Chain A
Amino acid sequence: MKVVLPSPLASYTANRREVEAEGATLQALLADLDRRHPGIRFRMIDEQDAIRPHIKIFVNRAQVSSIAHPLSPADEVLVVAALSGG
């Protein structure tokens, strides 16, 4: 499925902002994304599997709060480096 990434993560994807990854849950998709682009997951998700404070993840434009969220092949995942002031 399509994953749209913010510019702060572009160094992991050879500057591509749209990449492909697969998974039946957000957790599985992030694992696949990390296999394809090593290191990218830890910069979005901490060691306790929490989405980092200034990262927001949307599935089909609805924000999700847990990486256990289920996914379908037709879903689109949008990762946003959330504005937090300044």
Chain B
Amino acid sequence: MPRLLVLVGTRKGLFVLKADRARQRWSMEGPHFLGEVVSHAGVDPRDGRTMLAAVRAGHLGPTVLRSMDYGKTWKEAAKPPAFPKAAAGEALDAVAHVFWLTPGHPKHPGRWYAGTSPQGLFVSDDGGVTWEGVQGFNTQRASAPWIARGPDAPPDGATLHSINVDPFDPAHLYVGLSAGGVFESHDAGATWRPLNKGCAADFLPDPDAEYGHDPHCLRVHPKVKGVVYQQNHCGIYRLEAAERRWTRIGAAMPKEIGDIGFPMVLHPRDPKTLWVFPMDGSTVWPRLPIGGKPAAYGTRDAGRTWKRLDRGLPKAQAWYTVKRQAMTADALDPVGLYFGTTGGEVWGSFDEAESWQCLVLHLPHVYSTETALVA
């Protein structure tokens, strides 16, 4: 019977939660890479086997590790993501950390994408063994004003994240730049254009700026064409694909909660159902549950209405952040949802967020969660 895995990337290693398909019996393996930052890790859904992890120790450079036996053994990428050697007089860009990993389209088995800080986009066509820059993006780094080139910026660096491959067109790619905005390519990364119309950027002087926005998490629906949602620094949005314009569906969230947060999770089958985990975006941007009362919010009508989903979660004095990669879903029915906290907890719901239970305590600061069904 297939098993369910939840890969939990943390500030001090990778942990793997394992469950039977009924999600009743859980165990945990790890830590892998004890003491090293694991920004993101996942299993290739195309072969159900290849596992990649973006790893960096505090003192060492960044790399990607690969396992073909569900974490029993790991092998480092022979050529990790790295910018080209700069010519004399050019800025010296160096990857500080690999932040995001996305498997490619099913038509490109073995392809993975990686997003880095400083912002760079890399691709592997051999399952993560060797990585090359996506030239159309990385060669624009010197001239494109939307790409942040500096060293790691607060709080966790200027990142390229939310790499999404259109399930209906393998040449259609989306990325999120924090900060910089959402960008898309229709030619497999050769050229890019901003996709930010309708999205607020209240920290910019121009309310209709073409770029400079701060997407926190962008999700493209895996089954229904043209369905794209975004959790942004300035709200929750649905893309009106034909118009290439965002609509702020977070406007329907309760005013006392607001619509700021990091993660966003789509229902794997229903294009109108998604979940977010709001964070306090007021004053100095605390990025903690509003009032210390954590809650997911879900919509089943594409953002027209939202429901608070906090049964089982702490009722008060819970002060943690749920980061952008740290909330995910499985593909089972009903859908299971999982989130990890900066306080080292992993929570799960097996009834589509109606109720939650704590699966693990006392892990390091959680950076990411990803699920996989494996043989």
Chain A residues near B (Cβ < 8 Å): 6, 8-9, 38-39, 42-50, 52, 54-55, 81-82, 84
Contact = CB atoms under 8 A, between A and B. Distances in A.
A42 B59 contact: no
A82 B209 CA distance: 43
A45 B94 CA distance: 10
Contacts of A49: 85
A31 B212 CA distance: 41
The 8 A-B pairs of least Cβ separation, nearest first, read A46-B94, A81-B59, A47-B82, A43-B60, A48-B92, A54-B59, A43-B61, A39-B76
Given A38-B78, A39-B76, A49-B85, A44 B94 contact: no
A9 B93 CA distance: 23
A55 B86 contact: no
Interface of B: 57-61, 63, 76, 78, 80, 82-86, 92-95
A6 to B, nearest CB: 7
A42 B93 contact: no
B58 A43 contact: no
B103 to A, nearest CB: 23
Nearest to B90: A48
Given A47-B85, A48-B86, A49-B85, A42 B61 contact: yes
Nearest to B94: A46
Contacts of A55: 59-60
Contacts of B86: 48
A34 to B, nearest CB: 11
B199 to A, nearest CB: 33
A50 B94 contact: yes
A46 B78 contact: no
